[in-house]
Each structure stands twice: as C-alpha cells, then as structure tokens.
C-alpha cells in the first residue's frame, strides 16, 4: 500500500454587506459576502488546512497571518498554490479531497463544477479528485441565521 497521510480542516467567516462572496475561487452573486483579511474564501481555507494538517505542517494562520498586510485582500487560490508547492516539496501529492460547505443561502449547486475546476487547476489534479458538497444548517445556529458560512474538508495525500 502506498504511504498515505490524512488531514482535516474547518473554517467559518461572517457574512456581511459590501463584500464579495467567493467560494472555491468562484465569485458567486449574492447580496452578502464573506468578511476576512484575505478574500475570505472559506472553502479554500478549509482545504488548505486539511492539506497542511495531513503533513502536520501547522495551519494557514501560521503561513498567512491575518495581521500581515501582505495578505490583505489576498486571492486565496494564490495561497492554495503556495500550500500545494510546499506539499510537493515535501514529497507528497494529493490523492483526493472531500469537502462540505454549510450555507443557508445562496444555493451553490450550480457553482460546484466551476469550483472543482478552479481548485483542481491550482492543485494540478483532476476535478474528479475533489468532492464539494453543499448543505444548509437547517436554519440552526449562526450559519442557519445567515450570519456566516462554514466549510469542512478532508484531504488524503500520497507519497510521490
């Protein structure tokens, strides 16, 4: 059996007026967007933490601290590309990623194919290696009240 490592990641960002909603590198039309130091792409952040976690490399806050003006408004896909480079440099490749976005609104179904394409391109893998599921929180808690959007991800890495 190939040498493998598994990691998991979680993230949540507040929904506010006057910000863009970007998930998996895809800009989605909505009256609210996610608040954060970077573009606040909660799905990409959860995936980055899963990838880093698989190799016990810490978390995204360590590499891209929210206090560093260098990452203000950063395109999270560019941060993901840096994480991908780090993983490859350590001798690992992505086997597969699975993820869940928890959002009461908007409906994400029509955007998932585009998100998989964008993430796969950055990670230099096939879209078939990335699972993205969307669910609501059944109106429960802060996500259910549309105060934020959360994302969970797991990643399996294989030794090159």
Q: Which residues bind Mg ion (CB under 5 A)?
A: 11, 45
Name the strand (E) or helix (H) holding 9: strand 4-16
User: Which residue number, 11 or 104, has a Cβ lying nearer to Mg ion?
Assistant: 11
**Cis check: omega of the bond before 63, within 30 degrees of 0:** no
Token pair, residue 138, equals 């059944």
Chain position carrying tokens 């699972």:
131
User: Which residue number, 118 or 148, has a Cβ lying nearer to Mg ion?
Assistant: 148
- DSSP 8-state symbol, 15: E
Least CB distance to Mg ion at residue 35 (A): 10
Least CB distance to Mg ion at residue 44 (A): 8
Residue number closest to Mg ion, CB atom: 45
User: Which residue number, 3 or 48, has a Cβ lying nearer to Mg ion?
Assistant: 48
Least CB distance to Mg ion at residue 4 (A): 26
Distance between CA atoms of residues 46 and 55, nearest Å: 15
């Amino acid at each position: 059996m190939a040498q493998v490592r598994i990691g998991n990641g979680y993230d949540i960002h507040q929904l506010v007026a006057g910000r863009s909603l970007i998930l998996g590198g895809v800009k989605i039309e909505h009256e609210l967007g996610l608040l954060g130091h970077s573009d606040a792409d909660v799905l990409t952040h959860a995936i980055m933490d899963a990838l880093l976690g698989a190799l016990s490399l810490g978390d995204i806050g360590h590499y891209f601290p929210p206090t560093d003006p260098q990452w203000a408004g950063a395109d999270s896909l560019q941060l993901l590309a840096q994480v991908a480079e780090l993983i490859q440099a350590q001798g690992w490749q992505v086997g597969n990623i699975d993820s869940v976005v928890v959002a009461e609104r908007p409906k994400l179904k029509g955007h998932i194919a585009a998100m998989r394409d964008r993430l796969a391109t950055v990670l230099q893998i096939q879209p078939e290696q990335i699972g993205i599921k969307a669910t609501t929180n059944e109106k429960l808690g802060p996500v259910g009240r549309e105060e934020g959007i959360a994302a969970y991800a797991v990643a399996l890495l294989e030794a090159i």
